Amino acid sequence: MKVLVLTNLFPTPWDPLRGAFNRQQFERLGRRHALDVLTAVDFRERLRGRRGNVQVAGLGTDHFVFVYPPRFGRALHAACWLLSLLLQRGWRLRAAGYDCILASWAYPDAVAAGWLARLLSIPYVVKVHGSDLNVQATHALRRPQIAASLRAAAAVVTVSRALAGKAVALGADAARVHTLYNGVDSKRFAPGDQAAARARLGLEDDAGPLLLYVGNLKESKGCLDLLEAFAAMEHAQARLIYVGEGPCRSALLARARALGIDTRVRLAGAMPHDALPDWFRAADLLCLPSHNEGVPNVVLEAMACGTPVVATQVGGIPEVVPAHAGRLVPLGDRAALAGALAEATAQTWDHAAIVDHARSFSWEANIDRFDTILQQAARVGAAAEALR
């Protein structure tokens, strides 16, 4: 098949680390079909200049600049998205002869992709990830657009059962909604010697427990909640490292100083995906107290390295973190989070059992199912087109 992928969640020269989970999945799908990945780049990000190069073997990759009114009219973003795409790449899309479209992210991507699919008379599949339904679909003017795009899609792929339920609640046909957990590269994310990993990262090995956060430094990811809970742990030797960048960086540094824990808190910055295994191996715990989620791949990857997880009971996290692999706490309960961190650092974990559980999330199984879903969508679309 020839598949057009439309998304904002894929690496670009302006954000080379973005959407590592999609990169892994689409690269594997590209070994079976001809995939062209066309990534939307926010015009403000485009103005900030390139930060690297992106080359993905076996994929056709390109981008377009998403232009929109920045401070108002969020309900118009899907129309702006489609207009930006058609003005910059429309002629090429009409001539390409795609069998189907895969839209990865609900708004504005999937809404605009649905309109484009109708223009091209081809079916489309929507993949949803988390806050695109958990947050975007709560807004009065965006919700009906998202609901319409899900209802008209040939298939909806969700990364958790919780998201599948929300898609059905929005009107998607339950028979066409598929829960498909992301996979883990078990060759890359595998157990290793903790002391050696710490040495490679330049970390002291004789200090207390090391807690790790990996993700965007955004309030909705719980990074500030984690800092407060860490301060309340009352473990003078514990250390906390944040791997990632985002708008909360300055607030984290200032609050750590105010709490008197700045010598035990480090902001390591964003890291390439290939560098993450050693961080997981070096840590005693991965901590991710998000306010909403689908199924974050960092949780699966940490467990694949044998590292237990402390996280919030939101989205699909409870579906993939069993009791023997971590502890889950209610959203917004910083006292419970602090208690879970203290208990988890004191607990003896069965790291081999955690690894065995994580290996059930394989990219091979993921791609087999995704391939079947896309082919079925293309066949149904071709049959419908033949009847016109």
* Cα 51 to chain centroid, rounded: 21
Burial of 19 (0-12, 13-18, 19+ CB in 10 A): buried
Closest CA to 319 of 298, 343, 300, 342: 300
The widest CA-to-CA distance across the chain, in whole angstroms, is: 71
Return the percent helix, strand and coil in the chain, to nearest 5.
Answer: 50, 20, 35
Q: 């920045």: which residue's tokens?
A: 70
381, 100 Cβ separation under 8 angstroms: yes
Which of the residue ranges 182-191, 229-238, 324-333 would you say has the lowest mean pLDDT? 229-238
Average pLDDT of the residues of the chain: 94
Per-residue pLDDT tens digits for 40-64: 999 999 888 888 788 888 899 999 9
* Domains of the chain from N-terminus onward: 2-183+363-387 (3.40.50.2000), 194-358 (3.40.50.2000)
The Cα 268–Cα 271 span in angstroms is: 8
Confidence of residue 162 (pLDDT cuts 50, 70, 90): very high
**According to DSSP H, which parts of the chain are helical?**
20-29, 43-47, 77-96, 111-120, 131-134, 143-152, 161-169, 194-201, 223-231, 249-259, 276-282, 297-304, 317-320, 334-346, 351-358, 363-387
The 10s digit of each residue's pLDDT in 350-371 is 999 999 999 999 999 999 999 9
Give the pLDDT score at 118. Answer: 96
**Within 13 Å, how many C-alpha atoms sit on residue 286's CB side?**
29
Whole-number pLDDT of residue 170 = 96
Between 62-66, 68-72, 87-91, 250-254, the lowest mean confidence (pLDDT) is in 68-72
pTM of the prediction?
0.92
Structure confidence by residue, pLDDT tens digits, 304-342? 999 999 999 999 999 999 999 999 999 989 999 999 999
